[in-house]
A and B are shown apart, each in its own frame.
Chain A
Amino acid sequence: MNTVQYFIAVAIGIFVSRIARVFGYGAGSTWPGELALRVYPKILQQLKKRVTKGIIYVAGTNGKTTTSLMISGILKNSGGTVLHNTSGANLLNGVVSSFFNLWRKTDWAVFEIDENSLPTLLRYIHPDVLVLMNLFRDQLDRYGEVDAIASSWRTTLTTLSDTTTIVANGDDPMIAAVTESLKARVVYIGLEDPKYYLPKMQHATDSIYCPKCGTRLTYGGVYFSHLGKWACGSCGFTHPDILLTAASYTSPLEGVYNIYNTLAAAAVGEVLKIDVGLIQKSFDAFHPAFGRMEEVLYHGVFIRVLLSKNPTGFNESLRTVLASDKKGPMMIVLNDRIPDGTDVSWIWDVDFEQLKNYPFTLMISGCRTYDMAVRMGYAIDDKKTHMEHDENLESAIEKIVHKANDGETVWILATYSAMLDVRKIITGKKIL
């Protein structure tokens, strides 16, 4: 280790981090790390020594933020101190940045990790627990194809030793394939409950052909996308044995996807030998992150914002809204900025046809208002469902809030940057 370089890098990181905080710059969660990395690229190998008990990585297309937050909750409830990165700041620079807010040492570190950055981050740290949630198509223009990510994961995962335990989603055939026969210990979670089976397969599936031999998988039932009770009739690749199922813990949040988040967090708790009762207790006290089912009171109306950034996430958001006992108008905000993906083709993989006869007003907004309005127009029955659009997000929110009758909840489904814009308007807060 080059001590001088290391200390300069840390000093720069802390300095930039302070400046960003004092002046309220939103980039405080990535820039300090970015600059420190330029001075000393291997800085993470030193910084990790400030974590005394264990490091946990959470990776996957959907559910990273909620699962990380749940894991932090469990660890804090068990009496530990926890360092975590800012939601969305999940590349190498975001992980490094998080250390500059840490004055002493920490017992635990919980990091959500971007799919493409996982191989890099595994080079610097072999975590004690690695959570692999799922792999779905997401922002093809930025991430590339699901299969390419899976194969780069596989290559890196084979380098892990048995000091790492992987918590993997056994209902996702691709996750099962990349975690097969590793030196690392692997425990699987899965729903194992036909109550959650969908009546028919959704269009947005990515891995319904055997990842090993290419034969069409058979499903005893599908929970959503390609997650389910699968098996390959040709090469014999089958669903792995499950450690925790939907019956093991109670999810604090609505939505089938939140059961997966809950089980993944619980499995991490169990791997770290935390008491089962304490794990459930921290779920019961769980408060969701903004845009992940958090409820906000705005001008006397309850608003629930659901981050919906890819076909599978959107389908599950819609399913959650339709199943919820909170009813009311819905707004969809579609942006195409860099964090959302500049290509909005994916909205045609979402089954908006579920809203065909939606009995409340639908409002469309965002940078790509018209693309979204066209999509919705082709999905709904315009004699039964009323749709409006307004490119101006602020006035769109005003309008939809006015549409809500007493006791109704306004649902807002938004892509990533759109969710931040909505948050700014309804809570007045700028940064995540």
Chain B
Amino acid sequence: MKSKKESYSITIGWLYPELMSTYGDRGNILVLEKRCAMRGIGCKIMPIDFQADEKDIEKIDMVFGGGAQDRQQGILIDDLRKRKGPVLGRLLHNNIPGLFVCGSPQLLGSFYMTGDGKKLEGLGLFDMESRHFGNDKPRCIGNMVIFISDAYKVDDLTYKNTVVGFENHGGRTYLGDGLKPFGTVLVGNGNNGEDKTEGAVYKNWIATYSHGPLLAKNPHIADFLIAKALEIKYRKVIKLSKLDDTLMWKAHDVMLGRLGV
């Protein structure tokens, strides 16, 4: 009997989809889902919300977090810290990949100091802290380009050392000594507008201030996450087929051109 071609599948856990999806953050999920589907890889989306069972969260192959407005963050923060924190920590240490965009990176760090001096404790998974210096300090808003190393390269797939995104944040983030940034700012503010760092990476979790559909114009990062999820789940490297990404790279390059990179 001829052996059937092995079929792969992953489950992506999405942190509080109703509360942490401020402005197009869902795009990342849509991109990951379809890029899996086009390759015949099964992709299930599991909301990590108030009802989510810890045992189910334990089994996911990728974590995604978007941004929350202040009120929404207030609604979920206790549940996130107390009921999700430990299991998320285990996923991180088991090398399960993750993507955190917009305001969600602030939740990963040790604390977030609000504009009126209130200290909100984070999950403490990343050695970093965030501060808001009050509304008289301008928000960081605009298109952003960062330079990344080859660390996210997937064999045979098209790769670029740039990531284009859009940032919109009032807080500033400072990384601890041991924590690596996601990239170096070429255009925009990044973590704090001072040290040229943008985002943070620990194990296979990527955190970035870029909000919204980061993966839409950065197919290389989408494929890095998919490849990592498969590698960790099946304990071997699984080759990803090449997709027609002409439009995605064109959108990427048009933005680089506009910003003079």
Residues of A at under 8 Å CB distance from B? Answer: 137, 140-141, 145-147, 203, 205, 208-209, 214, 216, 342-343, 345-349, 370-371, 373-375, 377-379, 389
Contact = CB atoms under 8 A, between A and B. Distances in A.
A347 B251 CA distance: 14
B71 interface: yes
B21 A345 contact: no
A374 B168 contact: no
A348 B251 contact: no
Contacts of A378: 30-31, 34, 216
B216 A374 contact: yes
B30 A348 contact: yes
Contact of B22 (A140, A347, A375, A379): A140
In the complex, the 3 A-B pairs of residues with the closest C-beta atoms, listed nearest first = A345-B212, A348-B27, A345-B24
A249 B213 CA distance: 41
Contacts of B217: 371, 374
A298 B213 CA distance: 36
B212 A348 contact: yes
Contacts, number: 82
Nearest to A211: B71
Given A345-B27, A348-B212, A377 B22 contact: no
Given A145-B69, A209-B72, A345 B166 contact: yes
A181 to B, nearest CB: 20
A374 B74 contact: no
A315 to B, nearest CB: 13
A80 to B, nearest CB: 42
A374 B72 contact: no
Given A345-B27, A348-B26, A349-B23, A147 B247 contact: no
A375 B30 CA distance: 9
B70 A145 contact: yes
Interface of A is mostly: helix
23 contacts: A137-B22, A140-B22, A141-B141, A145-B69, A146-B69, A203-B26, A209-B18, A209-B71, A209-B72, A343-B23, A345-B25, A345-B27, A345-B166, A346-B23, A348-B25, A348-B212, A349-B23, A371-B251, A374-B251, A375-B27, A378-B31, A378-B216, A389-B247
Contacts of B166: 343, 345
B191 to A, nearest CB: 19
A375 B215 CA distance: 11
Contacts of B143: 342
B250 interface: yes
A343 B212 contact: yes
Contacts of B213: 345, 348, 375
Contacts of A203: 21, 26
B251 A370 contact: yes
A342 B216 contact: no
Contacts of B25: 345, 348
B19 interface: yes
Given A378-B30, A378-B34, A370 B254 contact: yes
A377 B30 CA distance: 11
B70 A345 contact: no
Nearest to B170: A144
Given A345-B211, A348-B30, A377 B24 contact: no
A198 to B, nearest CB: 16
Given A349-B26, A378-B31, A214 B74 contact: yes
Nearest to A141: B141
A308 B166 CA distance: 21
A11 to B, nearest CB: 37
Given A141-B141, A209-B19, A343-B212, 6 more contacts: A140-B22, A141-B168, A146-B69, A214-B71, A345-B212, A375-B216
A147 B71 contact: yes
Contacts of A374: 216-217, 247-248, 251
Given A147-B69, A147-B71, A209-B19, A347 B24 contact: yes
B23 A137 contact: yes
A101 B97 CA distance: 62
A345 B254 CA distance: 16
A237 B256 CA distance: 49
B84 to A, nearest CB: 17
B142 interface: yes
B181 to A, nearest CB: 22
A374 B24 CA distance: 14
B142 A371 contact: no
Contact of B75 (A137, A141, A145, A209): A209
A376 to B, nearest CB: 9
Contact of A214 (B27, B75, B212, B247): B75
A191 to B, nearest CB: 23
Contact of A348 (B24, B142, B168): B24
B165 to A, nearest CB: 9
A280 to B, nearest CB: 39
Contacts of A348: 24-27, 30, 212-213, 216
A377 B142 CA distance: 25
Contacts of B141: 141, 343
A374 B243 CA distance: 13
B70 A147 contact: yes
Contacts of A375: 27, 213, 216
